[in-house]
Structures are given as structure tokens and as C-alpha cells.
Amino acid sequence: MEIFHGTGVSPGIGIGRSVSIESLPSEIYRISLAESELGPEIERFRASLVDAEREIQGTAAEVRRKLGDDLAAIFEAHSLLLKDQDFIERIVQQIKSEKINAEWAIHRVVTDLAERFQAMETPHLRDKVEDLRDVGRYVLRCLQGSTTHDLSELGSDVVVIAHDLTPSEAVRLGRSRVVGFVLESGGATSHTAIIARSLNTPLVVGLEGIGKRITDDDPVVVDGKEGKVILHPTDEVLERYRALAGQMKARDSEMQATRELEAVTLDGTSIDLAANIELPEELADAQRFGARGVGLYRSEFLYIEKSPELPTEEEHLEIYRRMLAEMAPHPVVIRTYDLGGRKLARELLATHEDNPVLGLRGIRLTMARPTIFRVQLRALLRAGVDGELRIMLPMVSGVEEVRKFRHGLLRLMKELDAEGVRYAGDPELGIMIEVPSAALTADVLAREVDFFSIGTNDLIQYALAVDRNNEHVAHLHQPHHPAILRMIRFVVDSAAEAGIDVSLCGEMASDVRSTALLVGLGLRRLSMAPRQVPAVKSRVRQIDRADAEEAAKRCLTMGTAQEVDDHLRTVFGAALVSA
Ligand code: PEP
Ligand code: MG
């Protein structure tokens, strides 16, 4: 038995067998090539066709053996398409005429052909769309040198070991038979961690080099609370963890029983606890654990799940309406796409960025892509007639973005008027406060919008210059750093002055060690992963507002996060400030 210690960022116990995922097909992006690079790029593309053909034939043979000729014929069809000269020539021409990399050329050709096939009357041709996409994926995988990780090949109770996973990979894997994730990189507020918690799948990060220490099919236990990974557990250890997993399940049911309790402090101050939602299946959790509305819907996950295709207006509308119906009469805050950065949408950016976290991300990308803006905002305006829908913009850095956005919104309203489509004429519009420039001009911004939501995950990243995905500086991502507390205070005061709502929806909202401090800083609405609502609620019920305010006031004068923690511990006792 061997024990590895990392950082547990999604609690729970996973018991299974290891599978190491080295390279899922990565995101596709566009690279411009020089004239002299085009020949070798075409060669690289042709070589990938040979590899893809070998892969398809291998799969076809296996399917024939196990499932018979009928099903193997699917792969024969793939093989034919792969040899189709017209298909190959189109891609070669794209590389030459656009001077682009083979991956991007394949993506363009496949998307274009798929759209045309889809529009055809003949069902036979429409059926070709999936074949075409499959073939595109085979070639991309071969180009990128990655091995096939068909999820259907995974056995049951799998513990995924990887250097890193993108949020979309985590969604895809987490929904299959994966019982735990173990990553070499990552931090507690990374989007992959957020997704693991959404899926209720244990995740331990920061285990550098673990990929080399664990081979496939090893028995493993993942303890996502303690941050432990146990390789080859003894029977006794296994038994202990099985019992622990059982207790956790029982606690889950107890937590649901707190649903009806009010989130009020000892002195009767009400604190609204809402849900952060990434995936539709979390709506049920939001209800089970008693969240009052949705404080943050990270709508980019709608795209991430469908990528590289963009969801249609109707698809947006459907999920927004569902959320409003399920959470009624409580409000639902839908954040427009926060794509770019590490959430990735390279195919939308169509360009390489050295520093994506400071690049075309969030509202910047939405405003730079009229189609993205139009499709999502039309759906939001239309859904607004069905309930208390609030629109929120991510990554706002100043007033100009808000004004431009409003301008665009008015244009869309005129368009909907002309079409005679019903929509919400005066939707509440709010912004995330997650860029330091927005926090420091909150008094000005408060006059332009209807509400604020403080995104501490990014606010800390940008204010303290600490990459939220980097395990080497994870200890510096400090929510209790006095600089952050001062920003929160200023934002809360600015909102109060202007008479607008303010909430906090970063991961700090779900950490019971911060609850008293946040109440003391004046927050009355927190939004968090649905499963965290009961724990935060029970913490709220132990707090006296005057004590919290006094403590917050003192903390604002301090120099370090450590001093803040020590003070909180002295005032509230270890029980109130430990997780
Ligand atoms: C944040 O930055 O705190 C936030 C809630 O947004 P996200 O985690 O999606 O970047
Ligand atoms: Mg953010």
C-alpha cells in the first residue's frame, strides 16, 4: 500500500481502478502558417490519414469479431469516407488557400459539409453527418498524436489519473463511470475542480509525478476531502473507506433535511443562499439542498458540452426556461458566456493567445463575436417573460463595456419588435465584480447596473497575481488577504450607496471558514455549489451579526491573511472557522 498526499478539492470517496488519461483529443485552434510550412503541413495531414485508416480498420475488425458484420459496416463506411478524394482535396485546399494548420482545416471542412448535409432533404445524406464528424475526429486524434480514449472502453468504477483535464473533459468523463479524479496540476478554484464538485466526483489535485507512479488497472482509493490517494489499499483500509463512503451518503440525506430551515443569523438577519449551476443535472441538487434561486448559471458550459458547435437560440431558451420553471418563484441569474481563458473556446477565438487568461475572455469575446452575442441575448430576452430572469456579464473591467452591451441589447429588442416576438423589455442587468478595475470603480459602475456579484475566484487571481490553476502558487490564492477584504467592502458599500443588490458567488461563498467574515462585511446573499448550501446555512445560524461586523472591521486593518485567520479563530473559535 502506498499513500500520496495532495489537495482535496472535491470531497467524497472514490474506490476503483486507475486509468491514466494522457491525452484526450485537445482543443482545436487555428495557426497561421508561412508559405514554406504548407508543404510539410500537407504531408503531416496525409500521414495522419494513413494512421486513421489503420485505427478504423482495427476497430472494424474488433467490432466484427465481437458484434458481427452489420455493425462493422459502420466503420467500413468511415473508411470509405476517409479515402474520398473530394474530401481529402477540400482539406488540402483549405490548408493551401487559407495558410492554416491541418487541424483547423479539417474542422472547417467537416463543419461546412456537416451543415450542408444537415440541410438536405434526403435522410440518407443527413445520416452521413455523424459519419463525417466521426471521421474528422479520427484524423484529428491521429494528427495530435493522441490515443483513443473512447469512454465506452472504460470499465466501471474508474479512477482517472491525468496531468490535467480541461473542464469539458471533466464533464465528459465525470458523467461516465468515473468514481474519482487524480490530477498532477490544478487548484481549488479551477473550473475543473468546480465541475468535479458539480458532478459530486472526488478530486485530488497537486500530485506532481503521480502519473509515473501508478499504472493502469491498479486498485485505488481517492479521498477528496483529505486529499489522499491510496494505491493498493489493504482489505482493512478498503473496509474503512467503504464505511466512510456510506456515512457520507447518510450525511447527504441529513443535509437535505435542513432544506426547510431558514438561513438567519442569531439576531435574525436573513442571508439568501442561492445555487451556482454549471450542468442541468444540478438543478435537482439546488432544490434538494434548499437553494433560493440560481445566483450564477455558468452558461458557457452549455457551449462547452456542445463544442465545437454553438448552441442555437432555441437550445439556450429551453435551458433558461427550465431553470426559471424549476426555481420559481426565486430569481435566476444567468451569466452570459464566460468563454476564453482556461474555459477554452479556441475554435471560436480562431487565433492563438500567449496569455488567454488576460485575453479575449468573457464579455470581451461576446462583444467581439456578433453571432454569439445575438443568439444568446435573443434567447435571454425571450426567456425573461417566463420568470425572474436576471442577466449578468462576466469579466467586466469598466463602464464602457456595460454601455456597449446595453446599446447592443437595444438593437436586439428592436429586431424582436420587428419580428413580433415577445420578450422582457426591461431585464435586470448586473455584472460580475472579478477584475480589480471593476472592484475599484464599483461606485461608478453601481450607477449603471442593477446588481453586482463578486467573483472572488478571479478577483483573487487578478488582484494577487496568482494563477488559479497553478498548484505551485495555490497557497497564495488567499480569499482572506486584506486586499481582497478591502475590495469586497468597497463593492458592498458602493452597492448599498446606490441601492442595488450585491452577492458573492466565488468559491469563498461556500467555504464555512469565510461565512462570518462575509456577513460581517455586509453581504446578505451568497451563491455556491448546491451541496454546500446546508453547511453554510448551519454556519449562518451560529453567527451573531454584531460580532461578525466587529471582527470584519478588525480584519480590514490587518496586514496578512494569516492574521485574519488567527483573529477569526480567536473570536469565533476553531469550530466556526474550520471546514
Ligand atoms: C469567479 O471568478 O469567482 C466566478 C464565480 O466565476 P468563474 O469561477 O466561473 O470564473
Ligand atoms: Mg470568474
Which DSSP string do the residues of 172-203 spell out, in sequence order? HHHTTTEEEEEESS--TTSHHHHHHHHTT--E
- Neighbour tally for 121: CB within 10 Å: 6
Q: Is residue 348 scored above 70 in pLDDT?
A: no
- Neighbour tally for 235: CB within 10 Å: 7
pLDDT value of residue 438: 98
Residue 391's pLDDT band, with cuts at 50, 70 and 90, is very high
Judge if the beta carbon of residue 401 lies within 6 A of ligand 1.
Answer: no
Q: Which atom of ligand 1 is nearest to the CA of 453?
A: 5
pLDDT value of residue 167: 73
Residue 91's pLDDT band, with cuts at 50, 70 and 90, is very high
pLDDT value of residue 482: 97
Angstrom CA distances, 425 to 370, 409, 410, 419, stand at: 21, 10, 9, 14
Q: Which atom of ligand 1 is nearest to the CA of 455?
A: 3
Residue 128's pLDDT band, with cuts at 50, 70 and 90, is confident
In the block, cell 509525478 appears at 209
Q: Is residue 150 scored above 70 in pLDDT?
A: no
Q: Is residue 390 scored above 90 in pLDDT?
A: yes
Q: Are strands 219-223 and 13-20 parallel, antiparallel or unpaired?
A: antiparallel
Angstrom CA distances, 282 to 170, 303, 566, stand at: 15, 17, 35
Residue 281's pLDDT band, with cuts at 50, 70 and 90, is confident
Q: Which atom of ligand 1 is nearest to the CA of 298?
A: 9
Contact (Cβ atoms closer than 8 angstroms) between residue 321 and residue 383? yes
pLDDT value of residue 367: 93
Helix axis angle for 482-498 and 545-555, nearest 10°, is 120
Which of 203-207, 349-353, 374-378 shows the lowest per-residue confidence on average (mean pLDDT)? 349-353
Q: How far apart are CA 54 and CA 74, in angstroms?
A: 15
Judge if the beta carbon of residue 338 lies within 6 A of ligand 1.
Answer: yes
Q: Which atom of ligand 1 is nearest to the CA of 458?
A: 2
pLDDT value of residue 579: 44
Q: Is residue 338 scored above 50 in pLDDT?
A: yes
pLDDT value of residue 380: 98
Q: Is 73 helix (H, G, I), strand (E, B) or coil?
A: helix
Residue of 194, 338, 357 to mutate, ligand 1, most atoms within 8 A of C-beta: 338
Q: How far apart are CA 458 and CA 311, in angstroms?
A: 26
Chain centroid to CA 353: how far?
20
Q: Is residue 403 scored above 60 in pLDDT?
A: yes
pLDDT value of residue 147: 42
pLDDT value of residue 142: 80
| Averaged pLDDT, 525-530 | 96
Mean pLDDT of all residues belonging to the chain = 88
Of the two residues 38 and 177, the one the predictor is more confident about is 38
CA–centroid distance, 433 to ligand 2, in Å, is: 9
Ligand (nearest to CA of 300): 1
Q: How far apart are CA 117 and CA 27, in angstroms?
A: 24
Q: Is the pTM of this model over 0.85?
A: no
Catalytic residues: 191, 505
| Averaged pLDDT, 545-550 | 97
∠ CA 284-266-510, rounded to 5° = 40
pLDDT value of residue 24: 41
Residue 343's pLDDT band, with cuts at 50, 70 and 90, is low
Contact (Cβ atoms closer than 8 angstroms) between residue 477 and residue 187? yes
pLDDT value of residue 148: 39
Backbone angles phi, psi at 503, to 5 degrees: -135, 180
Q: How far apart are CA 243 and CA 386, in angstroms?
A: 46
CA-wise closest residue to 378 among 418, 339, 413: 413
| Averaged pLDDT, 186-193 | 81
CA–centroid distance, 484 to ligand 1, in Å, is: 15
Q: Is residue 22 scored above 70 in pLDDT?
A: no
∠ CA 401-406-410, rounded to 5° = 150
| Averaged pLDDT, 395-423 | 97
Q: Is residue 315 scored above 60 in pLDDT?
A: yes
Q: Is residue 27 scored above 60 in pLDDT?
A: no
In the block, cell 463543419 appears at 111
Q: How far apart are CA 301 and CA 529, in angstroms?
A: 15
Percent of the chain with pLDDT over 70: 90
Q: Is residue 228 scored above 90 in pLDDT?
A: yes
Q: Which atom of ligand 1 is nearest to the CA of 394?
A: 6
Q: Is residue 103 scored above 90 in pLDDT?
A: no
Contact (Cβ atoms closer than 8 angstroms) between residue 411 and residue 423? no
CA–centroid distance, 339 to ligand 1, in Å, is: 11
Q: How far apart are CA 345 and CA 302, in angstroms?
A: 12
- Taking CA atoms only, the protein residue closest to ligand 1 atom 8 is 457
H or E stretch covering 94? helix 85-98
| Averaged pLDDT, 466-478 | 90
Of the two residues 116 and 167, the one the predictor is more confident about is 116
Q: How far apart are CA 117 and CA 111, in angstroms?
A: 10
Which of 55-64, 294-303, 418-427, 504-513 shows the lowest per-residue confidence on average (mean pLDDT)? 55-64
Q: How far apart are CA 531 and CA 301, in angstroms?
A: 19
Q: Taking phi first (over 0 means left), then psi (-120 to 50 degrees means alpha), and beta for anything else, what does residue 75 get?
A: alpha
Which of 299-308, 397-406, 425-434 shows the lowest per-residue confidence on average (mean pLDDT)? 299-308
Q: How far apart are CA 520 and CA 547, in angstroms?
A: 8
Q: Are strands 203-205 and 219-223 parallel, antiparallel or unpaired?
A: unpaired
Q: How far apart are CA 502 and CA 494, in angstroms?
A: 9
Of the two residues 114 and 269, the one the predictor is more confident about is 269
CA–centroid distance, 79 to ligand 1, in Å, is: 44
CA–centroid distance, 296 to ligand 1, in Å, is: 9
Q: Is residue 149 scored above 50 in pLDDT?
A: no
Q: Is residue 229 scored above 50 in pLDDT?
A: yes
Judge if the beta carbon of residue 547 lies within 6 A of ligand 1.
Answer: no
∠ CA 319-300-154, rounded to 5° = 90
Q: What does the pLDDT look like over 69-84, one tens digit per residue?
A: 766 777 787 888 888 8
Beta bridge partners of 431: 393, 452
- Give one DSSP letter per residue of 56-69, joined into a string: HHHHHHHHHHHH-H
H or E stretch covering 296? strand 294-298
Q: Is residue 146 scored above 70 in pLDDT?
A: no
Q: How many DSSP H helices and E strands does the chain contain?
A: 24, 16
Residue of 189, 477, 488 to mutate, ligand 1, most atoms within 8 A of C-beta: 189
Q: How far apart are CA 575 and CA 579, in angstroms?
A: 8
Q: Is residue 62 scored above 80 in pLDDT?
A: no
| Averaged pLDDT, 333-338 | 96
| Averaged pLDDT, 448-453 | 98
- Taking CA atoms only, the protein residue closest to ligand 1 atom 9 is 298
CA–centroid distance, 435 to ligand 1, in Å, is: 11
pLDDT value of residue 574: 67
Q: Are strands 7-10 and 203-205 parallel, antiparallel or unpaired?
A: antiparallel
| Averaged pLDDT, 355-373 | 90
CA-wise closest residue to 370 among 333, 412, 400: 412
